[in-house]
Chains A and B, each alone.
Chain A
Amino acid sequence: MRNNQTNIFAGADRLTILTYILLVILGWLNIYAAVYNEEHQNIFDTTQKYGKQLIWIGGAAIIAISILLIDANFYTAFAYGFYGFLLAANILVLFLGREIKGSKSWFRFGDIGIQPAEFMKFAANLALAKFLSNSTIIVNQQFRLRLRDLIKNYRNTFYALVIIIIPLIVIKFLQDETGLAIVFIAYVIVLYREGLSVNFLIFGLLAAILFVVALVVSQITSLIIALAVISAASFLFIPRNRKSLISVVLVFVCASGVVLATNYVYNHLEPHQKVRIDVLLGRGTVDLKKEGYNVNQAKIAIGSGGFIGKGYLQGTQTKYDFVPEQDTDFIFCTVGEEWGFLGSTGVIFLELFLILRVIFLAERQRSGFSRIYGYGVSAILFFHLAVNIGMTIGLMPVIGIPLPFFSYGGSSLWAFTILLFIFIKLDANRLLILR
């Protein structure tokens, strides 16, 4: 191990690091364009966001190098420690943090703000990897429907879910940061890779579809649709016996539960969340000057970019503040307007390449810990990518989460850097030890 430290990049995947650097540079260029005005052109002007982002990027570089310098065993050994520490930080922030935009999720150090929820992602990822590498969630397909067998089979799955859900609950319900909390759902992809039955995913997906259908059409209609689909499916695919009949009835009861819960859930959402769902689904009348403004302006900015874009620093929509939050959550609008279809596709490809590269690297790990951690990284990155870009082009409800490496903000950049570079470090060490 010691001989490795002569060169900290030895064994580190160059392609991943290069992609990361490219994304950070492109991100900064777009933040510059989004904030750009004629009066402040000095890129080191720290009163401007691009100036501050440069400092954050510098910090990220130091963090990345530090991670590569530290022994890989450190991350495996203290996986639960990180988890516990950050969970505590996320609770402490409620008492020590300062309120920004109505949510108490920031630690302030002078001019600098740190959002612990961002860092919870890598900690949860470490804990999940640690837990899953020591226990299996693969279910014995032959088990009988007895409570004892059920518990035996699903105990580990339950524990894994607990690791994911605790931070989700803390961040959603205590800090009221829906966007940051909802990200933890992405770990289901990791569970799936490690053996979670596909039925759960299908069932979850169907429930989601049913939920949307019930919102768009009426509850009664969606109940009838569900009944029809379930009957048809069971008629075609399931052998006719008593046991199957019970399962079909059970499935339908669950579906009815989802449909009936729709209104309850919808009515208990925050008003702005209701509106975001309405905007996405086109329910009722959406006032483009009020609740529909963000998404509409985002689409206008991206749509007006055309095929090749208006050119760097030439965007009229983003530069003159038509798009709100254009340097953070809506940074993709700047890309869309100034770089056009070519540029936006390029950014998607680059992010996707990084995600797929991480999966590729994860699959070549000998240790379960590294593989599971790698899948966690790609799942988190993908979730951010899909939700962030999806909301700017009107395919997802507006959820305030950043575009990895692109959006302005120190916490998110640092958190993504730590998340990614721990994996790069683990990958660099893959041949040395079997964890």
Chain B
Amino acid sequence: MRNVQLSDRKLIIGGFFCLIALIYIIRLFYIQVIDDQYKLAADNNAIRRMTEYPVRGYIFDRKGKLLVQNEPSYDLMIVPKETKGCDTISLCEVLQINKTEYLRRFKKACQAPNSPRKESIFEKQMSAPTYAALQEKLYRFKGFFVQKRTVRKYPRPIAAHLLGYVGEVTKEKAEKDFYYREGDYIGVSGIEKSYEEVLRGKKGVQKAITDVHNKIIGRYMNGKDDTLAVPGKPLYCSIDMTLQEYGELLMKGKKGAVVAIEPSTGEILALISAPSYDPNLLVGGKERSRNFTKLYYDSLNLPLFNRALTAMYPPGSIFKLIDALIAQNDGLINRSTVFPCAMGYPPMGGKPKCHAHGGGKNLPGSISVSCNSYYSYVFREIVDQKKYPNFIDGYNHWRETVKTFGPGTHLETDLPYDKPGNVPSVEYYNKVFGKNGWRSNTIVSLGIGQAELLLVPLQMANVVAAIANRGFYYTPHCIQGVGNEKFLDKRFKQKHYVGVQKQEAYQNVIDGMQGAMEPGGTAYANRLKDIIVCGKTGTAQNPHGQSHAVFLAFAPRDNPKIAIACIVENAGFGGVWSAPVVTLMMEKYLKGKTDRPEVEKRVMAADLINGKNLLSTGFH
């Protein structure tokens, strides 16, 4: 038998005890000092964040009139675990729902992502009478409380496309942007979207300590961490409400768009897309989604489609202005240049066709009467000019100069989603006709604003603004400033010079535009007595039926105050429908009222969509 020193085992036993204690201490050090997850979890356990929603910023028009305001809205919130003893029957009565619906919503509030212990929305944006009835009895509805928010309200039902609308944030956005939580509102389109960060303000958070049953025990850190909601900043819109509303009235019953710009600043005075809708339709809870669906599926009128920014139209004859400017700038033509016209462009066998305007005209005359033949020649002069041995270079020169006016580019306005339009590239034509398979005459209809050329109405307005300014434009924008200090991004204060700077060229073109409003001109019928308007008609042929009526103009001739482009879809000759709309709006803006009530009446009454009044023209 070996002599075992059993008392040595005390060391082993003691050592074992110490070892276990050491392991525990290391473990404690890890979870208490190193790992932060438990501290966060503890906060989540015990701290409930209560959100105070800020008031969304108001939007004023350029004269300080309220364009968009807010009204309080009340969401009924539920904490399912606390509803024991709730007077369910009278709650159902107040909300006008039945028991099945109540149980369905209750179940939804209990399931992920909601939780029976946390609040979720039970009834969204209650109507004022419902809220009033509910508030009286709220003490009987255990586990329910009312969360106050605000929703948009529009004093006048106008400018829907420009203002855009506010809707619930998408799940993806809420996951990406930490500011938003599901159920929050966010600007979805228009100004509401582009100025979301200014308008939304800042949510306030109040932290409360809760127990395991999510019952509030008190304020966290005595409210030291709490923040108040910061209201959104007001936005001063450059829109003239009166002009906008008047324009919308004139465009009623028509499809198309009107964009009015103040040339000296680039501020958008009116932006109309017709048919439009009442922006008040897209606020509110249940109604909102119903109305949205209705508008969304109106495939005949596409009321949600913002034609002013995203509908690309062939510009038609208004494009001749740019050709005339480029050709003069390149020294190819001057005021007295005359090209023949034989009811069409002679070199191509009378195509493009022209109308009877009494023989060859000089430059201003060609604009006033809108001679197609003249501008087919002008286009060829530019593309085939001697400076460029290869006509491809000539074409690219034309294309690049055109683009300096805006067509074919994003204008980078402060409105979301504008389309660039289209000024076809050399590569495109190489593909269509094959390399060396085309020349200037092949694409000569570009010169009169047809073929593949496409512009959005905003670009048309920008072109006329640039002409009104005699060579430059400001990026069109729809606000005057943000907040009470009226802060405006400096990119909107920067002049963009176009590719034509020869002042004489502008003189001649503007003379022609003025001539269009005089006897023999294409828009003579729309002359104004005491304002010198410079305009240009366009009749854009298109594959969708009758030509689109286009008209653009600025006024007065000196120190122009307003530049407008208007397009009315499938309305025929530009002088018939678009010119009255534009000139009436000019009168409204410059004088406050029209001297031609009969024209106003005729335009407002016209319902082109349903085909009435289409033939009762008599103007040409």
Contact = CB atoms under 8 A, between A and B. Distances in A.
Interface of A: 138, 140-142, 189, 192-195, 297, 299-307, 316-317, 320-322, 336, 340-341, 344-345, 348-349, 352, 355-356, 359, 362-363, 375, 378, 382, 386, 389-390, 393-395
B217 A320 contact: yes
Contacts of A322: 45-46, 211-212
Contacts of A352: 17-18, 21
Interface string B21-64: 10111011101110101110111011100000000000000000
Given A317-B46, A320-B210, A322-B45, A341 B23 contact: no
A395 B33 contact: no
Given A194-B6, A195-B6, A352-B18, A302 B32 contact: yes
Given A302-B28, A303-B37, A304-B42, A316 B18 contact: no
**Interface hub of B7, B10, B28 (most chain A Cβ within 10 A):** B28
Which 3 A-B residue pairings sit nearest by Cβ, starting from the closest?
Answer: A303-B38, A304-B42, A320-B211
A36 B182 CA distance: 37
B183 to A, nearest CB: 23
Nearest to B29: A341
Contacts of A189: 13
A348 B29 CA distance: 13
A141 B4 CA distance: 10
B4 A356 contact: no
Contacts of A393: 24, 27-28, 31
B7 A363 contact: yes
B46 to A, nearest CB: 4
B443 to A, nearest CB: 68
Give chain A's interface secondary structure class: helix
B42 A301 contact: yes
How many residues of B sit at the interface, in one of the four size bands?
A: 35 or more
A304 B21 contact: no
B543 interface: no
B27 A316 contact: no
Given A320-B211, A395-B27, A306 B32 contact: yes
Most chain A C-beta atoms within 10 Å of own C-beta, residue among B14, B42, B212: B42
A345 B25 contact: yes
Contacts of B217: 320
Given A302-B31, A363-B10, A393-B31, A141 B211 contact: no
B491 interface: no
B27 A195 contact: no
Given A317-B46, A336-B32, A348-B24, A302 B9 contact: no
A300 B24 CA distance: 16
A316 B42 contact: yes
11 contacts: A141-B1, A297-B45, A301-B42, A303-B32, A303-B37, A304-B43, A306-B32, A336-B32, A352-B21, A375-B13, A389-B24
Nearest to B218: A38
A74 B46 CA distance: 54
A355 B37 CA distance: 33
Nearest to B35: A303
Interface of B: 1-2, 4, 6-7, 9-10, 13-14, 17-18, 20-21, 23-25, 27-29, 31-33, 35, 37-39, 41-43, 45-47, 209-213, 217
B363 to A, nearest CB: 82
B209 A320 contact: yes
B32 A317 contact: no
A123 B13 CA distance: 23
Contact of B46 (A320, A378, A394): A320
A301 B46 CA distance: 11
Given A189-B13, A321-B212, A322-B212, A303 B45 contact: no
Contact of B13 (A341, A359, A389, A395): A359
Given A317-B46, A355-B17, A304 B24 contact: no
A378 B42 CA distance: 35
Contacts of A340: 32
Name the residue among A316, A317, A394 with the largest chain B CB count within 10 angstroms.
Answer: A316
A300 B47 CA distance: 14
Given A303-B35, A316-B42, 5 more contacts: A302-B28, A306-B32, A306-B33, A336-B28, A395-B27
Nearest to A193: B9
A306 B209 CA distance: 19
A341 B28 contact: yes
Contacts of B14: 356, 359
B28 A320 contact: no
Contacts of B10: 193, 359, 362-363
Contact of B25 (A297, A305, A320, A348): A348
Contact of A300 (B6, B33, B42): B42
A307 B32 CA distance: 6
A386 B18 CA distance: 11
B46 A192 contact: no
A185 to B, nearest CB: 14
Given A192-B9, A303-B38, A348-B25, A341 B212 contact: no
B13 to A, nearest CB: 6
B4 A195 contact: yes
B292 to A, nearest CB: 37
Nearest to A317: B42
A307 B33 contact: yes
Nearest to B209: A316
B17 A382 contact: yes
B39 A304 contact: yes
Contact of A193 (B13, B41, B213): B13
Contacts of A349: 21
A128 to B, nearest CB: 16
Contact of A395 (B24, B35, B46): B24
Contacts of B46: 316-317, 320, 322
A233 B245 CA distance: 94
Contacts of A321: 211-213
Contacts of B7: 363
A401 to B, nearest CB: 15
A143 to B, nearest CB: 10
Contacts of B41: 300, 303-304
B77 to A, nearest CB: 22
A305 B45 contact: no
Which of the listed residues A194, A307, A317, A394 has the most CB atoms from chain B within 10 Å of its own CB?
A: A317
A299 B32 CA distance: 9
A363 to B, nearest CB: 5
A306 B43 CA distance: 13
A41 B287 CA distance: 55
Nearest to B210: A320
Contact of A341 (B32, B39, B210): B32
A303 B21 contact: no
Nearest to B115: A289
A345 B25 CA distance: 6
A140 B3 CA distance: 10
Contacts of B29: 341
Contacts of B23: 395
Contacts of A317: 42, 45-46
A140 B33 contact: no
A340 B42 CA distance: 14
A345 B22 CA distance: 9
Contacts of A141: 1-2
